[in-house]
Amino acid sequence: MKTTLDSNYRVFMVVTSRGKSAFCNIDKLNKVVKELGAKEGYFTVYEFWDNKPRKVTKANLARFFEGAGLKQNFYY
């Protein structure tokens, strides 16, 4: 899978329990989770803002999708 990152926006990293990972922006996050085969409770989403990684909570993830005007198509 190839994604193009826009460095002007928040960057997310999805890491599965099997060691698969991918970087993306919020608009591709649904696609990345689906393509990695991530199951609820078995993956972690990190956000990168100002070059600092931080684990994303369920509430913050919902706010990110709402702010972008997108629908979250996966359970975290």
CA distance 44 to 22: 11
The whole domain housing 33 covers 11-56
Confidence of residue 16 (pLDDT cuts 50, 70, 90): very high
Q: Is 65 contained in some domain?
A: no
Q: Is residue 4 over pLDDT 90?
A: no
pLDDT value of residue 39: 93
Does residue 28 form part of some domain? Answer: yes
CA distance 33 to 14: 7
Triad 28, 33, 38: Cα angle to 5°:
175
pLDDT digits (tens, 9 = 90+) for 39-75: 999 999 999 878 889 999 999 999 999 999 999 999 9
> Is 15 part of any domain?
yes
In a domain, 73, yes or no: no
What does pLDDT average to over the chain?
92
Is 49 among the domain residues? Answer: yes
What DSSP string describes 25-42? Answer: -GGGHHHHHHHHT--TTS
Q: Is residue 38 situated within a structural domain?
A: yes
**Per the structure, how many domains does the chain have?**
1
